[in-house]
Amino acid sequence: MVGGGLMGAGIAEVCARAALDVVVVESSEAAADAARTRLETSLRRAQERGYQVNQDNDVRALVLTGAGDRAFTAGSDISDLDKYGDSWQYRNRMSSRRDYVHALWRIRVPVIAAIRGYCVGGGLELACASDLRIAAAGSRFGAGEIQWGWHGGSGQTQFLPRLVGPGEASRLLFTGDLIDGVEAYRIGLVNELVDDASVLTRAVELADKIASRGPLAVQSAKNLVRVAQGTSIETGLAYENDMFTYLMTTGDADEGRAAFAEKRVPRYEGR
């Protein structure tokens, strides 16, 4: 289930159930500024109420997507940058923007980005902060800020090397070139490539599968994947063994063993 069994509900209903089950970014040209405001507001609200969101056992997987097929999200409007007068104001703006990327990064359950159209700038950072990325072949990815004299400030230089390696990350960051979904899949930026009409369906299908698994084990695995990116193999193996030992004492592990013995589908309660 996604957000307590609302996989089949309309997007508006899912958003009403839990603000970040499916975050829809209106990415049409006319609505771009309002869309960015809504996205930042939603993610900042998640940061402010992160403890409550992360304690909701009915939310086991999240899908982040854009409305329509033109863009996942293209980040900031460059013309907006003229209103910042000095470097300190830029620094404070970027600290504020990082808050919503960090809010997404800190969510304990898996986050899947469903990507159609343009995924550039801040949109690329949001996609990279997600755990998994499903994209259309015709989608476009890029870190184009370098063309105008700066680079991203909310995670591009940190997420990309971890996802695609320093060589491919450097190519994207140094040139600002756009790549399509096929190339993004080739270099490992995208987990799955599907046709345009199937992006959200496939993302929700994957989220639904993840949500059917033992939630404590899924959250532990997500955390250990993060640990693996910033520690030694020895330390990581020790953490993994500790978490395995803990998980084997949970009711979910009891339920999993019972379901296996009884040849039925397990019913996990996250305890």
The residue extents of the domains of the chain are 11-211, 215-262
- How many angstroms separate the Cα of 14 from the Cα of each of 90, 135, 156, 259, 268? 35, 21, 29, 30, 21
Chain centroid to CA 45: 16
Higher pLDDT, 162 or 102: 162
pLDDT digits (tens, 9 = 90+) for 176-222: 999 999 999 999 999 999 999 999 999 999 999 999 999 999 999 99
- Quick check: is 269 catalytic? no
Superfamily of domain 11-211: 2-enoyl-CoA Hydratase; Chain A, domain 1 (3.90.226.10)
Catalytic residue among 125, 240, 255, 262: 125
Q: Do residues 45 and 33 lie in contact, with contact meaning Cβ atoms separated by under 8 Å?
A: no
Q: Is the pLDDT reported for residue 254 higher than 50?
A: yes
pLDDT digits (tens, 9 = 90+) for 89-129: 555 555 555 566 777 888 899 999 999 999 998 889 989 99
Number of C-beta neighbours around residue 265 at 10 A? 8
| Predicted structure pTM score | 0.79
Confidence of residue 147 (pLDDT cuts 50, 70, 90): confident
Catalytic residue among 13, 145, 234, 269: 145
Of residues 1, 122, 111, the one with CA closest to residue 54: 111
CATH 1.20.1050 fits 215-262, yes or no: no
- Quick check: is 125 catalytic? yes
Query: What are the structure tokens assigned to 269, written together?
Result: 């309660």
- CA-to-CA distance for 53 and 125, rounded, in angstroms? 22
Q: Are strands 140-142 and 179-180 parallel, antiparallel or unpaired?
A: antiparallel
The DSSP annotation for 44-92 comes to: HHHHHTHHHHHT-TT---EEEEEESSSEEE----GGGGGG--SHHHHHH
